[in-house]
Amino acid sequence: MLAARNSGLVPDMETMLHITTLHYLVLGAALFLLGVIGVLTRRNVVIVLMSIELILNAVNLNLVAFSRLWGGVHGQVFAIFIITDAAAEAAVGLGILIAFFRNKETVNIDEVNLLKW
């Protein structure tokens, strides 16, 4: 039904109103893009870490959407593991940030260059 209507990028009313898995995947992709832009363009380390959390959330959304599509809760269990993992990673990342800030008094990611030659 979706493929027969149009093959382009412009959605029609029926595609917009009937929410399918594809809608959730597109939302996840948009969040992923925002996270990637944040990681690549911001100078503040804390905001880079928060953009990484956005990326992980986008992945979670994909997983849970597919879990809904195929039945069973395997995707949801994987999403729970990713959330746990994100917690651990945020804790360690912020610990490193505090240790670095104590030495150099800046949160600018461009100045994390002690090993630069």
Range 89-108, binding other proteins (CB under 8 A): 89-92, 94-99, 101-102, 105-108
The residue within the footprint of other proteins, chosen from 12, 59, 68, 115 (CB under 8 A), is 68
Is the CB of residue 68 less than 8 Å from the CB of residue 21?
Answer: yes
Query: 57: helix, coil or strand?
Result: helix
79 binds other proteins per the rule CB under 8 A: yes
Nearest to 45 by CA among 105, 110, 102, 104: 110
Rounded distance between C-alpha atoms, residue 35 and residue 59, angstroms:
11
User: Which positions from 15 through 44 interact with other proteins, judged by CB under 8 A?
Assistant: 16-27, 29-38, 40-44
Shortest reach from residue 15's CB to other proteins, in Å: 9
